[in-house]
Structure 1
Amino acid sequence: MSDRKIVLVTGCAKGGIGYEYCKAFAERNCHVVASDISTRMQDMSDLESDPNIETLELDVSCDQSVSSAVATVISKHGHIDILINNAGIGSTGPLAELPLDAIRKAWEINTLGQLRMTQHVVPHMAMRRSGSIVNVGSVVGYVSTPWAGSYCASKAAVQAMSNSLRLELRPFGVNLVLVLPGSVRSNLGRANLERLGNYEWKLYNDFKEVIEERARASQGDKATDGRVFARHVVKKVLGPKPPKQIVFGHMTGLFALLSWSPLWVRDLFFSTRFGLSKKTSFVNNFNTIHRYLEINKTKELNLSDDGGEEIISQAVDKSNEKKGEESLPTRKGKELEVHHEHNQSS
């Protein structure tokens, strides 16, 4: 058997980030097992031209499929060094009307799918006291947005689950890396819009356009290129000491800032951004937010690799100087555990 690292990636159809993960790992001479559901196997055919990549049918929402796929990889290669829990789907719509079946499906794939894969792979890694589990969450897992509550909640659960697993796996020498993408270019927006066509809103019929806007919000012109994102993550994961979290992509700076802001600031921002503020004009809302955060001089929230913590600290200091106003948390510097990274081209 080869000494090369064996990497199992879920959700690898062409056009998604999983596809780019496979190529990025293969470029670094890893042997990659790219997997997806049966209806998307054809979308992985391009990967098979790479001698470092093989494809495998795997449905993360099915116990039997996961068990069979993991057994196949172990039988053929002897072990799995890295598991990339990438498979996931969008789930857009107002929570008050979104069908529970749609919400269950998102959770079954986005959240339980990752745990199901982990439960089947970890025993093999623990036996060797070696390996890395990479769970893919999202920045909306810690700052949720309107019209995507189902998706945000599924990713928040991934984050909570990962924080527990990271400690629970430590005695067995298994690493847990949580990836929190920002806005990264993929086929997610198109898939979200296709699912929206299945729903007819009653209470929220007048909000149809802004709901559709939220469905494609992560796929704007400034979204980080999927290949750039994947290569960044792969480099970190293959490093001698994989980080606990990788936060990368367009808009991660903005979400870092919002995560430290009072709820009224978040509510004002998102209600304006996604059509839920009818009483106050767009311009007035944003001016209020900018005055509060003391970032009037920045036309766009494009933070550099090390800019997130600095601007958060400035906002904290300015806020605490104001009497009678709600204060932000006062943690700064080394106490901010997550290193927020941002694509400078964004």
Structure 2
Amino acid sequence: MSSPRVVIVTGCSAGGIGSALCAEFAKRGCKVYATARRLEAMASLTHANIEHLRMDVTDDNSVNSAIEEVIQKEGRIDMLVNNAGVICSGSIIDVPLETIQRTFDANVFGAIRTSRAVIPHMASRKSGTIVNVGSFLAELPMPFSGIYAASKAALHSITDALYMECLPFNVSVVLVSSGGAQSQAIGRDRENSGLPPTTLYADYIDVIREQTDPGRSAMGTPLNQYSQELVGRVLKQCPPRYVSVGYGTTIVWLLQWLPRGFLYRLIWNYVIEKRRVELKKAQ
């Protein structure tokens, strides 16, 4: 009887995509290492196949220590799911540079840190899978989500290059273009949606804040459905290079066929301006 696959998932705080993925991997018989900056944030993950491990993807020592602990215990890592990240909302000219740096550190450099720590072990065995959870906003950025979209676009490009660079080692690399899911992460990052007093976008503050309203997640794909679809695909013997999952991914794919200038004006007029007027009338 073959031993269960060893899977590490980053960003597993309760109520988020990572937590749901851990539960689904465990249900399918995998040995799962759920990671987060705070162990208490993963208290809801109680399945016997799940172990909790502290890992801060923005800290080299934390990442290396966690990966080595798994290697020592299990002797191998079969899959790494880079899910950890933060949301950042606001106009490009208003978001503080330190906030932009934190966003890229978590969303981009975090995935690089963990991949650097894991891939050599996978390469030595000529086996393994890296899964990077990106966003459909990397393919179609929205107003006031430009920093987040840029960080995910960088992750998409890195994942594509990593796919090719891992071919000699028989290590699979999967890019997930994630749509909307019923995740509590939106509410946790709401403090990133403020604007300075001197902003040029004072008339749009309600629209910007709405982007990080926890209620918005209700329209997303239920987490159990999201995790079942994604886990089922990445556990295949030959996983796909690209997976699109979550609410809105189909419409984003269709919209990309429109001329970009026309599309961007359409989005601004009907997603931003129209909503701004509606929110003002509702006050």
Match of 1:256 in 2: 253
How many angstroms apart in 2 are the aligned matches of 1:157 and 1:106?
12
Structure 1 residue runs of 4+, over 4 Å off? 197-201
Please name the residue that 1:343 is paired with: none
Structure 1 counterpart of 2:13: 13
**Cα distance in 2, alignment partners of residues 58 and 134 from structure 1:** 17
Aligned with 1:61 (options 58, 61, 66): 58
The corresponding residue for 1:36 is 36
Whichever residue aligns with residue 20 of structure 1, its letter is A
Q: Equivalences for 1:282-301 in 2 at 5 Å?
A: none
What is the CA-CA distance between 1:200 and the residue it aligns to? 4.7
Q: Report the equivalent of 2:220.
A: 223
1:116 to 96, 102, 113: 113
Does 2:153 align with 1:159?
no
Q: Is the 8 A contact 1:192 1:216 kept in 2?
A: no
- Report SS of the residue matched to 1:275: helix
* Equivalent position of 1:94 in the other structure: 91
In 1, the alpha carbon distance for the partners of 2:65 and 2:195 equals 33
1:244 pairs with 2:238: no
Q: CA deviation at 1:206?
A: 1.7
What residue ranges of structure 2 are gaps of 5+ in the alignment?
Answer: 279-283
**Letter of the 2:13 counterpart:** A
Distance 1:202 1:245, change over 3 A: same
Indicate how the Cα distance of structure 1 residues 262 and 235 shifts in structure 2: closer, same or farther if over 3 A, else same: same
Separation in 2 of the partners of 1:106 and 1:236? 28
Structure 2 residue aligned with 1:344: none
What is residue 125 of structure 1 aligned with on the other side? 122
The separation in 2 between residues aligned to 1:160 and 1:82, in whole angstroms, is: 20
RMSD: 2.0
- In the other structure, the counterpart of 1:52 is 49
The range that moved more, 191-200 or 3-12, is: 191-200
By how many angstroms is 1:204 displaced?
1.5
Tell me the distance in 1 between the aligned counterparts of 2:142 and 2:234: 29
Q: How many angstroms apart in 1 are the aligned matches of 2:150 and 2:132?
A: 15
**What's the % identity of the aligned pairs?**
36
Quote how far apart the aligned CAs of 1:277 are.
Answer: 7.1
Q: Is the 8 A contact 1:183 1:218 kept in 2?
A: no
C-alpha contact 1:140 1:155 (8 A) present in aligned 2: yes
Deviation at 1:266, TM superposition (A): 1.8
CA contact (8 A) 2:184 2:217 kept: no
Amino acid corresponding to residue 41 of structure 2 in structure 1: D
TM-score (norm 1): 0.76
In structure 2, the CA distance between the partners of 1:163 and 1:250, relative to structure 1 (3 Å rule), is same
Aligned pairs for 1:169-184 (under 5 A) are: 169-184=166-181
Distance verdict in 2 for CA 1:60–1:198, change over 3 Å: farther
**Residues 1:199 and 1:58: Cα distance change in structure 2 (over 3 Å):** farther
**Partner amino acid for 1:119?**
R
Quickly say closer, same or farther: Cα 1:84–1:261, change in 2 above 3 A. same
2:186 touches 2:217 (CA, 8 Å); kept in 1?
A: no
8 A Cα contact 2:178 2:245, kept in partner: yes
Shifted more, 156-165 versus 257-266: the winner is: 257-266
SS at match of 1:111: helix
- Structure 1 residue runs without a partner (length 5+): 283-346
Select 2:146's aligned residue among 146, 149, 173. 149
C-alpha displacement of 1:235: 0.4
Residue of structure 1 equivalent to 2:187: 190
Q: 1:270 to 1:214 in 2, by over 3 A?
A: farther
Q: Distance in 1 between matches of 2:270 and 2:217?
A: 14
Counterpart for residue 281 of structure 2: none
Aligned partners of 2:44, 2:122: CA distance in 1, in Å? 30
Query: What do residues 34-73 of structure 1 show as CA deviations (whole Å, max 9, x unaligned)?
Result: 00003xx2121121x2110000000000001001000000
After TM superposition, give the deviation of residue 274 of structure 1 in Å: 4.0
Of 202-211 and 8-17, deviating more is 202-211
Q: Which residue of 2 aligns with 1:25?
A: 25
